[in-house]
């Protein structure tokens, strides 16, 4: 995922208070938010974009399984991966749970390894959505200007735009783009999920990963037909959910 800054919400009794420890996370591309109970966690999620939720399974004040299930059922948080950490091996109660965590990590582990596991998880979830390359352009209004960006690829659930615009994750956009063979443009309300920093050494282009939220008219049906008809294997990693 290049050097994209991860925003992680920890639900745990332990507080990351030292500036040295915070700097250690920032150095490896992670911004930490913390909550010690369910109410604080909900407030943090409402306050801004979060890439992943990490719950300490051993934290007695929080029922990790119930909290995880709540996030999975809530439409506003259902797409956010949940990770359990624990000093014990994977409990059967967790392994057999239908709405359990996306990843279980036994601790302690090196900080760099833990962040790497999170990035790998996000990439795996991205790959679950079939996507196709698309040579067109998408337009949207931002800060009083109409912006046109090349489309790198597209799926039923999101789009990757080629741009170095500094638009923060969590920003809402009204997107319009055209599909070959259709007269009507696709119109959809979206949310920026990830901003990708360009890295020429790793052949990573700057871009915005955007999630589709609400389509206008029959736009969703037309997009699904187009993706199904055009779908091909694409080895590139893209970073929308």
Residues 20 and 105 in one domain: yes
Point out the domain boundary residue: 96, 127, 158: 127
d(CA 195, CA 182): 30
Q: What is the pLDDT of residues 147-201, one digit of tens each?
A: 999 998 888 888 889 998 989 888 999 999 998 888 899 999 999 888 887 666 6
SS3 per residue for 190-231: EEEEEEECCEHHHCECCEEEEEEEEECCCHHHHHHHHHHHHC
Whether 237 is in a domain gets the answer no
Q: What's the pLDDT score for residue 54?
A: 95
- Examine residue 239 and state whether it is found in any structural domain, yes or no: no
Residues 12 and 119 in one domain: yes
The C-alpha atoms of residue 188 and residue 19 are separated, in whole angstroms, by 42
Q: Give the per-residue pLDDT at 78.
A: 87
The region of weakest confidence among 2-11, 45-54, 180-189 is 2-11
Terminal Cα-to-Cα distance of the chain (whole angstroms): 13
Residue 236 resides in a domain: no
Full residue range of the structural domain in which residue 100 is found: 6-127
Q: Between these two residues, 210 and 133, which has the higher pLDDT value?
A: 210
DSSP 181: T
Task: Clarify whether residues 116 and 137 are in a common domain.
Answer: no
CA dist., res. 179 & res. 221, Å (int): 12
Both 25 and 114 in one domain: the answer is: yes
Q: Among the listed ranges 48-62, 78-92, 159-173, 195-209, which one has the minimum average pLDDT value?
A: 195-209
**77 within some domain:** yes
Listing DSSP states for 125-172 in one string gives: HHHTS-EEE---EEEEEETTEEEEEEEEEEESSEEEEE----PPTT-E
How confident is the model at residue 18, as a pLDDT?
57
CATH number, residue 168 = 2.40.10.220
Nearest to 53 by CA among 112, 116, 108, 118: 118
Which of helix, strand or coil describes residue 71? helix
- In terms of domains, do 60 and 73 share one? yes
In this predicted structure, what is the pLDDT of residue 127?
46
Q: What's the mean pLDDT when you consider all of the chain?
A: 82
Residues 6+ apart with CB under 8 A from 121: 52, 81, 83, 102, 103
In a domain, 74, yes or no: yes
The pLDDT assigned to 172 comes to: 93
**Structure confidence at residue 20 (pLDDT):** 64
**Does 218 lie in the same domain as 177?**
yes
- Asked if 121 and 23 sit in the same domain, the reply is yes
User: What pLDDT shows up at residue 224?
Assistant: 86
Are residue 23 and residue 122 in the same domain, yes or no? yes
Residue 27 lies in a domain: yes
Structure tokens at 160: 């990757």
- Please indicate whether residue 211 or residue 2 has the higher confidence score (pLDDT): 211
Let me know if 70 is exposed, middle or buried by CB neighbors in 10 A (0-12, 13-18, 19+). middle
Give the HSE-up count for residue 33: Cα atoms under 13 Å, Cβ half-sphere.
20
Residue 240 forms part of a structural domain:
no
Q: For residue 66, what is the domain's CATH number? A: 3.40.50.2300
**Which of 8-17, 88-97, 220-229 has the lowest average pLDDT?**
8-17
Select from 76, 101, 127 the last residue of a domain: 127
Torsion, Cα of 136, 141, 147, 151 (10° steps) = -30
Q: Over 60: is that where the pLDDT of 232 sits?
A: no
**Residue 146 domain flag:** yes
Regarding whether 34 and 53 lie in a shared domain, the answer is: yes
Domain count, the chain: 2
What is the spatial distance between Cα 33 and Cα 161, in angstroms, rounded to a whole number? 28
Same-domain check for residues 135 and 105: no
Please say if the pLDDT value at position 1 is more than 50.
no
Domain boundary among 127, 144, 174: 127
Instruction: Say whether pTM exceeds 0.75.
Output: no
Length of the chain: 241
pLDDT in tens, 91-142: 888 877 878 899 999 988 888 888 888 887 876 665 455 567 778 999 999 9
Residues 207 and 101 in one domain: no
Whether residues 120 and 140 fall in one domain = no
């Amino acid at each position: 995922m290049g050097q994209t800054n991860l925003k992680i919400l920890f639900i745990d009794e332990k507080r990351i208070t030292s500036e040295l420890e915070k700097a250690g996370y920032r150095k490896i591309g992670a911004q930490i938010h913390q909550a010690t109970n369910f109410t604080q966690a909900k407030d943090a999620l409402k306050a801004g974009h979060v890439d992943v939720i990490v719950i300490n399974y051993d934290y007695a004040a929080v029922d990790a399984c119930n909290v995880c299930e709540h996030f999975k059922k809530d439409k506003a948080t259902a797409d956010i991966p949940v990770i359990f950490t624990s000093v014990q091996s994977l409990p059967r109660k967790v392994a057999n749970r239908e709405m359990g965590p996306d990843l279980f990590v036994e601790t302690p582990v090196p900080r760099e390894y833990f962040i790497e596991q999170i990035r790998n998880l996000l990439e795996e979830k991205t790959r679950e959505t079939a996507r196709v390359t698309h040579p067109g352009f998408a337009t949207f209004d931002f800060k009083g200007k109409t912006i046109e960006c090349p489309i790198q690829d597209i799926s039923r659930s999101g789009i990757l735009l080629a741009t170095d615009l500094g638009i923060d994750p969590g920003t809402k956009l009204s997107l319009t783009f055209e599909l070959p063979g259709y007269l009507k443009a696709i119109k959809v309300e979206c949310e920026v999920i990830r901003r990708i920093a360009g890295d020429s050494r790793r052949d990573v282009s700057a871009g915005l990963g955007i999630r589709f939220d609400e389509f206008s008219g029959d736009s969703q049906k037309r997009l699904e037909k187009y993706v199904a008809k055009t779908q091909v294997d694409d080895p590139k990693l893209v970073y929308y959910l």
